[in-house]
Amino acid sequence: MRRAAIIPVKRLSDVKSRLGTRLEKSERVGLSVSMLSHVVQACMEAGFHPVCVSPDPEVEKIARTQRWGYIKDRGKSLNTAVEKALKSLSAQGYKELVVVHPDLPLLTQKDLKQISTLARFSDAVICPNLDASGTNIVYLRRPRAFHPRYGRNSYVRHLKGFTSRGFAVKTYISLGTALDLDTPRDLRLLSLLRTSPQG
């Protein structure tokens, strides 16, 4: 079965502005590109064709150089970007899609494979962020039934969006899927996790 990972990427000039007190703009761009490459690698190892959707020409250049998929977006909103990618890839014959944010530095192919396993018994799998206010990953067995509701409290709104229409939905949480790098606090947590002794 053909499966693809939709990875929405902002304009690099706008990425990670909340890290501005800790990182210079060039550092934020470098960090974002590094995390994007990490997420793409995890998706490929889990058997997904990675497709970036972005308005940024530099992201397009990276994607085409690396032979990832690329869909040009106008940059209006995350919701419209994901909707465009869902329609495009569904029309290309992809039956199962996963939407993965590009700022998950601890994401692994094991996470994505476990999510895929959960999806065998449901219509969708949602992965919230650490405080369950946002949505970092959505696995879709019925892509056309998904109406993106990204923004504040998107995890709850996505959950209700599925259950209110009778779709079976499961939640998957791990550090790899929940830790998104947005704030100085997230950076400190990532540093702590990477320096902690492994038991």
Rounded Cα distance between 121 and 28, Å, is: 39
Q: Mean pLDDT, the chain, as a whole number?
A: 94
Is the full-model pTM beyond 0.85?
Answer: yes
Q: Between 82 and 14, where is the model more confident?
A: 82
Strands 3-8 and 49-54: parallel
Structure tokens belonging to residue 110: 């094991």
Residue 199 has pLDDT above 60, yes or no: no
96: left (phi over 0), alpha (psi -120 to 50) or beta: beta
Question: Which domain, by its residues, includes 48?
Answer: 3-195
What is the count of structural domains for the chain?
1
DSSP one-letter code for 125: E
Residue 180: pLDDT band by 50, 70, 90 thresholds? Answer: very high
Which amino acid appears at position 151 of this protein? G
Rounded Cα distance between 194 and 168, Å, is: 35
DSSP one-letter code for 7: E
Determine the 3-state secondary structure of 124 from DSSP: strand
Q: What's the angle, vertex CA 79, arms to CA 148 and CA 50, rounded to 5?
A: 90
What would the mean pLDDT of 7-12 be, rounded to a whole number? 96
Tell me what pLDDT residue 21 has. Answer: 86
- pLDDT for 164-176, tens place per residue? 999 999 999 999 9
Residue 194 has pLDDT above 90, yes or no: no
Residue 198: pLDDT band by 50, 70, 90 thresholds? Answer: low
CATH number for the domain spanning 96: value is 3.90.550.10
